Homo-oligomer: A and B are copies of this chain.
Amino acid sequence: MVKCSAAIDRTFSALSDPGRRAMVARLVEGPATLSELAEPLGLSLPAVAKHLAVLERGGLATSRKVGRARVCTLAPNAFDEARAWLAAQRAAWEARFDRLDALLIEGGDET
């Protein structure tokens, strides 16, 4: 059976949009208000607010009200689970080719 992992589902899903990735790339540099995110990215405030909600559900960002502004911050360890999953697949893939290499070398010795 397929194990569910709703958190990593939401992380990958949140990263599947170029606007949200651009917001993440901006937040990596430090916290920003919704307006500070919207302007340089050429996004409307409602679009940024909507993307922020998806990033928050995906565990990638948090936000808090400061006066009349909403300040967004990248979540600590935001990418760790996604990176670990990709790294594990990569390692398994490389291990497979190492085994194939070993088999080919063994086969070569026999000829």
Which residues on A are within 8 Å of B, measured CB to CB?
A: 1-5, 8-10, 12-13, 15-19, 21-22, 24-25, 28-30, 41-43, 74, 78-79, 82-83, 85-87, 89-90, 92-93, 96
Can you list 30 A-B contacts with CB-CB less than 8 angstroms, sorted by A residue number?
A: A2-B19, A2-B22, A2-B42, A2-B43, A3-B18, A3-B22, A5-B18, A5-B21, A9-B16, A9-B17, A9-B18, A10-B16, A12-B12, A12-B13, A12-B16, A13-B16, A15-B85, A16-B16, A24-B89, A25-B89, A25-B92, A28-B93, A28-B96, A29-B92, A79-B86, A79-B89, A82-B86, A83-B86, A83-B90, A86-B86
